[in-house]
Amino acid sequence: MLKVLSKHTKKYTYFERYAQMKRRYQVAQMYMVMKMQKQTTTNTEGVDVLENKPFEDDVFGKGRYTSKIYRLQSKAPTWLAALAPLDALVLQEEAWNAYPKCKTVIKCPYFPKFSLTIETIHKADNGNSENVHSLSKEQLASRQVENIDIAVSATDYWSYIVGSNSIDMTKFQSERTGRGPLLDGWQESCKPVMTAYKLVTVDAPYWGFGSQLEQAFIAGERALFHGSHRNIFAWIDEWFGATIEVIRKLEKQCISPFE
């Protein structure tokens, strides 16, 4: 009887810790999104939040739905600026956030056939799961896998546009939690650890420049994934210990400059 009780206690403790880790990641991501939007939004460019409300459906269960407009005109690469007007980088985003699953759909009114979908599953592992999205054999054959390591800094064009921080993660350590630095092989040694598995599907059926448009958006999303998660870790002392309710109150204080 004691052994059974001990076994159940361990299971309960595991799920309790996983739930706690999931809540902390949710708080961290909410804080990061809010702060990055505030940093990059001006009177003419940035993020305009149209809707931010709870939702519930049969696919995701309970979660948060957001609708946003991204005005990124000055961030267009040279080839796109020469090809299309500034409005080409006004993007519409819908997102359904219901941890551990999330879905984001991005469209561009100037290119009505264009679409980019990001399906995310968060797992309490170190990134070794092979097919968390349950893809078919055909999909797996065409899938390209990229591992994004937040301990490594990036200096490419899109990372500059996103605004990646310059903190050396191999030297950074949180004062409040003691977490860090992220040394070589940190994915295997750090606990707790969570992986965000993102399935990115992009479609730009435009003759002559569709492939270039797809690659530009993929590179932009890659830089955003990398930079935003580096910020989550770098800002840990700012968000650690906060609750979702506190972050919601802070979100309401961020009034859109476009209103």
Instruction: Kindly report the CATH number assigned to the domain that includes residue 188.
Output: 3.30.530.20
Beta strands in the chain (DSSP E): 46-57, 61-71, 90-98, 101-108, 111-123, 195-203
> Is residue 48 domain-resident?
no
> Is residue 79 domain-resident?
no
Q: What is the pLDDT of residue 114?
A: 95
Tell me the pTM: 0.87
Query: pLDDT grade, residue 2 (50/70/90)?
Result: very low
- pLDDT tens-digit map of 143-179: 999 999 999 998 888 888 887 788 999 999 999 999 9
The residue whose two tokens read 């984001």 is: 104
Average pLDDT over residues 220-225: 93
> Is residue 70 domain-resident?
no
> Is residue 121 domain-resident?
yes
Query: pLDDT grade, residue 101 (50/70/90)?
Result: very high
Contact 132, 109 (CB under 8 A): no
Range of the domain at 231: 11-43+98-253
Q: How many domains does the chain have?
A: 1
Q: What is the pLDDT of residue 5?
A: 36
Question: Distance (Å, rounded) from C-alpha 59 to C-alpha 191?
Answer: 30
Q: What is the pLDDT of residue 18?
A: 62
> Is residue 172 domain-resident?
yes
> Is residue 59 domain-resident?
no
Query: How many angstroms separate the Cα of 109 from the Cα of each of 113, 142, 221?
Result: 9, 28, 18
Q: What is the pLDDT of residue 256?
A: 56
Question: Distance (Å, rounded) from C-alpha 6 to C-alpha 135?
Answer: 37
> Is residue 62 domain-resident?
no
Query: pLDDT grade, residue 77 (50/70/90)?
Result: confident
> Is residue 91 domain-resident?
no
Q: What is the pLDDT of residue 8?
A: 37
Contact 154, 162 (CB under 8 A): no
- pLDDT tens-digit map of 173-216: 999 999 999 999 998 888 878 899 999 999 999 998 899 999 99
Question: Distance (Å, rounded) from C-alpha 161 to C-alpha 45?
Answer: 13
Q: Supply angle C-alpha 92, 200, 46, rounded to 5.
A: 30
